[in-house]
Structure 1
């Protein structure tokens, strides 16, 4: 068993004595990891949290803001993060806004709306992403602008899909048809188009699910899962073919997609993959996820029954899913 308290104390000592910024940032990251790894440690890590938040190094304080989401009670987070939105350092404001967006709480809408006026675009983007999660279009123009930012584009597309505002269609269409666009971005854009009712997006996704012998597409798994999530016509048959093929490396994506597709016909196919002799554990985990999301009692009972046979890492991941989707 890991001596996490010893690791905590060594990290705190490094913050006191170490002068190299990289080493101090690593110590802060370790404290964050210790908190995120086990929620029961929160009471004993509160002092470490205070230490991070008062540090002179911006990167350490930023990590402290992230660590707060693992240490503080849920009801305290909106107020805590709102205070950090006034920090003079943009990286701290960026972390606080992103964490606030991830909460997806309606009572945070006013605070996020204020962050839409931040002088730094990346902070405004995180606020817009949070507003999209609340189905509010206030940050629509910021999300559209972020489509031109390579490092933000994929998440901007995800936020636009979540928002579901068809006013974004012209911008997403232009992006989708852009030459030399990275494959993942084009497939994500196709998903947004499909969700907003553009048939070109659905056609692209279904075409991208086809397995080509000499043309392996890195974004194929994303296309496979999106077909199920968006419930595209023809998706059931395509995902069935993929999940049933022992030689197809997108079986896991197809299993997750079938769960999100929500068709009861998928139940025996997912059970078959879950129980397939010698199948890789990650495929079995994907099948279990698909069964749980599908929501049919027989499938969920089977997931509960096989939970103990998974590795500790896979069991922890599946247990978290079970808690998230009761």
Structure 2
């Protein structure tokens, strides 16, 4: 079906439909159509204006998602900050979260204002954004979010990024909590290790031995990210076992570990065309983050050896990232 015809039908539905649910679905469809192919973005400019001006909050919320696809990096911050005073809390929440994701120093003031919003979820998004900017003004909000099930995992990620040792007692209490879900305990261990607590790194290394645990891949990657003692040897052992389901996580972890000794190991996996493409992509990720010129050059040269368009597209996106 022609995507332009679908776009026009969705816009017509926004004009004619009275049912809020149907109008919200039409707005979501516009975002999906624009996201499917980046080259289409310019043809959704009028739709963006229409969504952001709509009287229905859910539709304006979709407009924020469309703005991230349609607007230039120079235009987007202004469009998002303009929505921070929206009467719909969902719009404010979406805008604050998108601003947090941008992690732009010039938007620190906008995030600081949202730390005072009456809605806890909005304050959390603002605190997460401040953490990404290495600013501790939202520390108390992130610590408080550790007691909220739906926010806990993301709060731990933000605290790890912030790296403020004042969070250590709260994270340590959480880590020792009875019946804490495995993923959250492993994430908490990663934060402890980042903040200099040896117990966190020890837990991560032990967790890599639990072959059938659902959180093992997270533990494997975090071992490299926090540079746990013994991580190089442990991750290498996982990487060289073609039957280990966490082989890709080990490749990513080795890249984050940053030890040049991993270069030949990762190159061997990248250039092994008999290996699964997802593992080879993980090796490319590890090499790119390792930051060595030889590894990065070989990643670029490996692009034609990936058979699927999806893998080549993922590799192209990786090459756009700053190592």
TM-score interval, smaller chain: over 0.9
Name the residue aligned to 1:106.
105
Query: Following the alignment from structure 1 to structure 2, what is the Cα–Cα distance between the partners of residues 22 and 237?
Result: 54
Tell me, yes or no, if structure 1 residue 240 matches structure 2 residue 239.
Answer: no
- CA deviations 1:158-184 (Å, max 9, x no partner) are 000011001001110111000111111
Query: Following the alignment from structure 1 to structure 2, what is the Cα–Cα distance between the partners of residues 245 and 5?
Result: 48
Name the residue aligned to 2:222.
226
CA RMSD of aligned residues (A): 1.5
The SS at the match of 1:75 is: coil
Give the drift of 1:20.
4.0
Task: Say whether the 8 Å CA contact 2:236–2:250 is kept in structure 1.
Answer: yes
Name the residue aligned to 1:135.
134
What is the 5 A alignment of 1:150-161?
150-161=149-160
Name the residue aligned to 2:90.
91
Name the residue aligned to 1:29.
28
The SS at the match of 1:119 is: coil
Query: Mind listing any 5+ residue stretches in structure 2 that lack a counterpart?
Result: none
Query: Following the alignment from structure 1 to structure 2, what is the Cα–Cα distance between the partners of residues 116 and 243?
Result: 43
Task: Say whether the 8 Å CA contact 2:300–2:319 is kept in structure 1.
Answer: no
Name the residue aligned to 2:313.
316
Query: Following the alignment from structure 1 to structure 2, what is the Cα–Cα distance between the partners of residues 22 and 198?
Result: 49
- CA deviations 1:224-274 (Å, max 9, x no partner) are 001111111100000000010011000000001111111111111112212
Query: Following the alignment from structure 1 to structure 2, what is the Cα–Cα distance between the partners of residues 157 and 147?
Result: 7
Query: Mind listing any 5+ residue stretches in structure 1 that lack a counterpart?
Result: none
Tell me, yes or no, if structure 1 residue 249 matches structure 2 residue 248.
Answer: no
Query: Following the alignment from structure 1 to structure 2, what is the Cα–Cα distance between the partners of residues 10 and 217?
Result: 47
Name the residue aligned to 2:62.
63
- CA deviations 1:179-220 (Å, max 9, x no partner) are 1111110000000000000111001101001144xxx11000
The SS at the match of 2:314 is: helix
Give the drift of 1:277.
4.5
TM-score by length of 1: 0.95
Name the residue aligned to 2:15.
16
Give the drift of 1:283.
0.7
TM-score by length of 2: 0.95
Tell me, yes or no, if structure 1 residue 291 matches structure 2 residue 287.
Answer: yes
Name the residue aligned to 1:146.
145
The SS at the match of 1:278 is: coil
